[in-house]
Structure 1
């Protein structure tokens, strides 16, 4: 898996995975715009897609998921999504 990660980093010009993750989380925070979901009052495909990616990070464990917890609005959004996805799965 590390080999695949290295190839992906090289392909997209990612030098520091941690910096890239933090930037991406901040971008998502901006996309939420202070709302409950990116889709407004209800989740849209973007909400579901980003939730799936972050859920994968949570399952992997490690420090990566702590970045999500560090962005208060993203963490609150994540918990809302977890409640909704948990209800339908």
Structure 2
């Protein structure tokens, strides 16, 4: 190898190193964004599952407070 070839090799290595330095943060950021998106998607799926479980386990019988309020409303209608 002569001096010109060594200079060309050093120049190529410098360009590759600069390219890696510039691209590496973007690749790290993209990987971080994908991980965050995956975690958000999993949390939304988990939340939907919890909503489905809550809605199916609710009873259709009104609570005591609802029953009491309904009784009071009907008495007001009768007395007026």
TM-score where L is the length of structure 2: 0.25
More helix as a share of residues = 2
TM-score where L is the length of structure 1: 0.23
Higher RCO, 1 or 2 (CA under 8 Å, sep at least 6)? 1
